[in-house]
Chains A and B, each alone.
Chain A
Amino acid sequence: MKCISCVKLATAATCLISMFSQAEVNFSGFSSINVGKVLSGTGVEHYDVPPTFLADYPIVSAYTEEWDMAPESLFGLQITADLSEGLTAIAQLVGRGAEDYAPEFEWAYLSYEINENWTIQAGRKRLPLFYYSDFYDVGYAYVWMRAPADNYTWQIFNYDGINVMYSTDVGDWSLATNVYAGKEDDDDNKLLGDFFFGDKTREIWKDMLGGVVNLSKDWFETRFTYMQYTNQRYIGGEQTMWGGEDSRNGKFFGAAFNVDFDDWFVLSEINRLDLEFDGNLDTNMVTFGYRVSTFTPYIAYSSMKQKGDGVVDGENHNTTSVGLRWDFHDSAAFKVQYDDVKDNSHDFAVAGDSKSLSFGVDLVF
């Protein structure tokens, strides 16, 4: 279902490109070649999980006690067709080591710039839930090996729909906002199917409606977001019921604050997913970094805690990380990171405690 809509969109985009033969087509892209291993870990004995570091939840990038290059390595290609007069068609193909590098359309949309303030986009896009969600794959664009795994645990990360963007100046501040609406029907959800339920899981997020407000000024940036959706789920072909209903509602709230002052920077995020029958899933993270010429050492802490009525031993894990980014080239960075994960839940244990080392190169072209 998901693939068919991708193909449809891609075909539509290709038709549009060939229709406007004068379209200027540009290729750009990004790549990460990462390797890592678990130095020591407990695993989760009662779920038969061996020592594991779950580095990326959505795509289930799991490192084990053997050095492995597949989990987080990826190659992305963006095709931008400028059809002039503010109209562009954009597609992004990403092949991941975790999926044997089979390329998939993560983005395929049309963008129309109405004027310098307003832009409207339609098609398949990344869901901009957390601060780093929509450029999660572009490792070169952030300091760590990956956006903090404890926070970025959502199972749906694309949507088919419409996005309206508005940007303007408010005094000395730059304001960028967007409102989006759409749906995603993932007939074989990797995180839920492979990792949590052990059976093929179809995950539907429908009636998604969300907004983002981003304010920035020189060295300070803040972002607020809200999104609501209706969730339906089929595990092994059987529809999940919640309190006698075949659907439930989720609300996501998020705030991010970033300070970048001379060579120092602080990155932070506070998020809550209020999901019916699952309570509140709270995610927080903070990172401190310092740039010394081409080197950027950093320390980071992130956590996820499930709370609420009826939640006794919910999901509860955190990660302390130290790492170094080295910009050895204009378009490439070498990174190395040590992660110490604590998994504090018994019933909702994800991958147990672990200490891991990973390193790699991120580049853009």
Chain B
Amino acid sequence: MNSFNKILAIIVLTLSQNAFAEVAVIVNSANSDDINEKLIKKIYLGKAKAFPSGAKVKVYTLPNSTEDTEYFRQKALKKSNSQFKSYWSKLAFTGKGTPATELDSAADIIAAIKKDPKAIGFVNVNDVNSEVKVVHNY
């Protein structure tokens, strides 16, 4: 009975963790650009440097080690953390691109995006608030 409860608890925990691992891509609420999955991928791979309106994009990311970052890279970019890092080290050490600015927490990302109409970032869906605009959920 005891071990059954434990197993049940583990299953519930695992399920809820998966449910929490949803990530929202967010921009400034004044941003009216049409930002789709393709553009998000290009922005995070350094292939697009501006929004369709022409504004130069400022890219933010959560730290490497977070589950949300790993989930976002896998879902949105189809790359594991090490594939992503390997890809970016090629660009960063040859003068072809500047990697996304890393901020410590979802609150920091939201604060930065709230201030900058040209910024883009991603946070866990549970951290989203009305101060920013969600353009895509993964």
Contact = CB atoms under 8 A, between A and B. Distances in A.
A116 B50 contact: yes
Interface in B71-86: 80-82, 85-86
Interface residues of B, number: 24
Contact of A116 (B38, B49, B96): B49
B82 A167 contact: no
Interface string A136-149: 01101110000000
Interface of A: 28, 30, 76, 78, 80, 88, 90, 92, 107, 109, 111, 113, 115-117, 121, 125-126, 128, 134-135, 137-138, 140-142, 165, 167, 169, 172, 174, 176, 216, 294, 327, 330-331, 333, 364
B56 interface: yes
Contact of B82 (A92, A216, A327): A327
13 contacts: A78-B93, A88-B98, A115-B56, A116-B49, A128-B94, A134-B94, A140-B89, A141-B90, A142-B86, A174-B47, A327-B80, A330-B64, A333-B82
A330 B81 contact: yes
A92 B81 CA distance: 25
Contacts of A167: 47, 49
Given A116-B54, A174-B42, A327-B82, A169 B92 contact: no
Interface in B19-65: 38, 42, 47-50, 54, 56, 64-65
Contacts of B87: 141
A364 B85 contact: yes
A117 B49 CA distance: 8
Contacts of A140: 85-86, 89
Contact of B95 (A90, A172, A333): A90
A174 B49 CA distance: 12
Contacts of A142: 86, 90
B86 A176 contact: no
Contacts of B64: 330-331
Contact of B93 (A30, A115, A165, A333): A30
Nearest to B99: A28
Contacts of B89: 30, 135, 138, 140-141, 364
A172 B49 CA distance: 16
Contacts of A128: 94
Contact of A92 (B42, B48, B65, B93): B93
Interface of B: 38, 42, 47-50, 54, 56, 64-65, 80-82, 85-87, 89-90, 92-96, 98
A100 B89 CA distance: 25
Given A169-B48, A294-B82, A333-B82, A126 B96 contact: no
B85 A331 contact: yes
A24 B82 CA distance: 27
B85 A330 contact: yes
Given A327-B80, A330-B64, 12 more contacts: A88-B98, A113-B49, A116-B49, A117-B49, A125-B95, A138-B90, A140-B85, A140-B86, A141-B86, A169-B42, A169-B48, A330-B65
B48 A126 contact: no
A28 B89 CA distance: 10
Contacts of A90: 95
Contacts of B56: 115-116
A294 B93 CA distance: 23
A88 B98 CA distance: 10
A256 to B, nearest CB: 13
